């Protein structure tokens, strides 16, 4: 207790300098946390993927559809337990700024493959019965003030025309990592309209989602599927859901690397600033440390004083940085809308923020502590004169 009071008095002996150091550390820790959270948001889709699902798409390009007739053949593959499919709808709600993911899916087979989408039984039944009905995520519904029964008009970009859908259910995620910004409509309804408007362009799907019995057999099942359709008019590329999601992330790999580099540079800069602060502190107190040694205090006591003071400032700045990060992350998520479907400060990020603050505290005090512990008593006392 005595040592803690002594550290507090020493730390705030120069209040302005200490407060500015704390503010700098707080800003650095906050920036580090926000940048880490942005990087995590890019990987949210991959992290939320299931190891029991495979994605089958065209080997040529994701924009090339596959025939619906593949579904029956996929069900016959050894190791496959379920098959569903989806198409990217790509509609516009009011203006292009209101972007959110929209998928035309086969509801009866799609929801069992995604148990993380939690829907009330009554709403699930209502959606399955209404061909013009849609399911929307809770976050998406809250953003636009939608409720069950509302009509949502979408202007088609891939599927031309104006589409009016009725919200029949609102799903929520089984955990915080589930994307709750999606809209799911019936593939059958979209396909029917597509066939009426453009005969010959229906009965095709963007991707098949395949459930497998054993995640350890994912590679083997994928190989069986791709071998089955080899040398056909529409060859397939089968990959795990995580690999499929990481394929999108890799398109922005350079940006993510830059963000990670900037987050580390921020910490290094504040480490240099704090090291300078501690060096100034040690230099100003050389006479005091020499006096302590003359009174019989061992060099280890001086080391404890400097490390303790540095860690105390680092902990205060780190905790404040974490506390500021949470509301700023929430404000940022609201500002960017559905660009990041899952944007939250993960516990691991908070732990890294605090660890970075402690690392700055230790590194900043290392050199001044070592130098002060080795000071000669006579040389130190000369500063008194």
pLDDT in tens, 80-94: 999 999 999 989 998
Query: What's the confidence (pLDDT) of residue 384?
Result: 54
Q: pTM for the full model?
A: 0.72
Are 191 and 279 part of one and the same domain?
A: no
What size, in residues, is the chain? Answer: 385
Are 335 and 266 part of one and the same domain?
A: yes
- Name residues whose C-beta falls within 8 Å of residue 228's C-beta, 6 or more positions apart in sequence: 73, 77
Where is the domain boundary, 203, 234, 265?
234
In a domain, 362, yes or no: yes
Query: What's the confidence (pLDDT) of residue 211?
Result: 94
Query: What's the confidence (pLDDT) of residue 145?
Result: 93
Range of the domain at 10: 1-45+253-383
Classify residue 189 as exposed, middle or buried by CB count within 10 Å of its CB (0-12, 13-18, 19+).
middle
Where is the domain boundary, 182, 206, 234?
234
Lowest mean pLDDT across 34-38, 153-157, 197-201: 197-201
Are 80 and 197 part of one and the same domain?
A: yes
In a domain, 52, yes or no: no
Are 300 and 344 part of one and the same domain?
A: yes
Q: What is the DSSP letter of 364?
A: H
In a domain, 53, yes or no: no
Q: How many CB atoms lie within 10 A of CB 64?
A: 13
Query: What tens digit of pLDDT does each residue of 247-306 get?
Result: 777 777 777 788 888 888 888 888 788 888 888 887 888 788 888 878 888 888 888 888
Are 212 and 260 part of one and the same domain?
A: no
Are 130 and 92 part of one and the same domain?
A: yes
Residue 178 has pLDDT above 90, yes or no: no
Are 117 and 223 part of one and the same domain?
A: yes
Chain mean pLDDT for the chain: 87
Are 227 and 261 part of one and the same domain?
A: no
Residue 383 has pLDDT above 70, yes or no: no
In a domain, 162, yes or no: yes
Are 191 and 66 part of one and the same domain?
A: yes
Minimal CA–CA distance to 235: which of 70, 77, 87, 71?
70
Distance CA 111, CA 121 (A): 12
In a domain, 285, yes or no: yes
Where is the domain boundary, 178, 207, 234?
234
Are 210 and 359 part of one and the same domain?
A: no
The mean per-residue pLDDT over the stretch 206-217 comes to 93
Number of domains the chain is built from: 2
Are 213 and 288 part of one and the same domain?
A: no
Are 125 and 215 part of one and the same domain?
A: yes
The mean per-residue pLDDT over the stretch 330-344 comes to 78
Q: Which residue has the higher pLDDT, 286 or 155?
A: 155
Percent of the chain with pLDDT over 70: 97
In a domain, 242, yes or no: no
Specify whether the CB–CB gap between 308 and 300 falls below 8 A: no
In a domain, 245, yes or no: no
Minimal CA–CA distance to 337: which of 155, 96, 40, 148?
96
Lowest mean pLDDT across 69-78, 113-122, 123-132, 330-339: 330-339
In a domain, 177, yes or no: yes
Q: Which residue has the higher pLDDT, 235 or 275?
A: 235
């Amino acid at each position: 207790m005595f040592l803690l009071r002594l550290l507090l008095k020493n730390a705030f002996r120069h209040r302005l300098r200490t407060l500015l150091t704390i503010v700098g550390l707080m800003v650095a820790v906050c920036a580090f946390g926000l940048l880490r959270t942005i990087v995590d948001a890019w990987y949210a889709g991959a992290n939320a993927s299931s190891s029991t699902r495979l994605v089958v798409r065209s080997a040529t390009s994701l924009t090339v559809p596959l025939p619906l007739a593949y579904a029956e053949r996929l069900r016959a593959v050894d190791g496959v337990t379920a098959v569903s499919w989806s198409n990217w709808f790509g509609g516009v709600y009011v203006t292009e700024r209101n972007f959110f993911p929209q998928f035309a899916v086969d509801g009866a087979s799609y929801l069992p493959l995604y148990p993380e989408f939690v829907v009330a039984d009554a709403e699930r039944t209502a959606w399955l019965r209404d061909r013009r009905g849609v399911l929307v995520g809770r976050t998406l519904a809250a953003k636009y003030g939608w409720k069950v029964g509302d009509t949502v008009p979408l202007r088609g970009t891939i599927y031309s025309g104006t589409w009016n859908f009725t919200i029949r259910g609102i799903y929520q995620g089984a955990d915080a990592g589930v994307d709750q910004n999606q809209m799911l409509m019936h593939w059958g309804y979209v396909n029917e309209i597509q066939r009426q408007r453009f005969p010959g362009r229906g009965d095709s799907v963007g991707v098949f989602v395949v459930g497998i019995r054993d995640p350890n057999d994912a590679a083997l099942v994928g190989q069986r599927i791709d071998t089955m359709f080899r040398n056909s008019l529409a060859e397939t590329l089968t990959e795990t859901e995580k690999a499929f999601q990481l394929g999108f992330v890799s398109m922005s790999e350079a940006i993510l690397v830059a963000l990670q580099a900037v987050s580390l540079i921020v910490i290094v800069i504040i480490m240099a600033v704090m090291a300078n602060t501690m060096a100034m502190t040690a230099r100003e107190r050389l006479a005091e440390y020499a006096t302590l040694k003359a009174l019989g205090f061992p060099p280890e006591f001086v080391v404890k004083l400097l490390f303790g003071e540095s860690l105390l400032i680092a902990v205060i700045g780190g905790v404040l940085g974490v506390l500021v990060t949470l509301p700023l992350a929430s404000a940022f998520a609201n500002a960017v809308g559905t660009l990041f479907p899952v944007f939250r400060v993960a516990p691991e990020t908070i732990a890294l923020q605090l660890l970075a603050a402690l690392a700055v505290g230790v590194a900043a005090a290392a050199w001044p502590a070592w130098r002060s512990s080795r000071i000669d008593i006579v040389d130190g006392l000369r500063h008194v004169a």
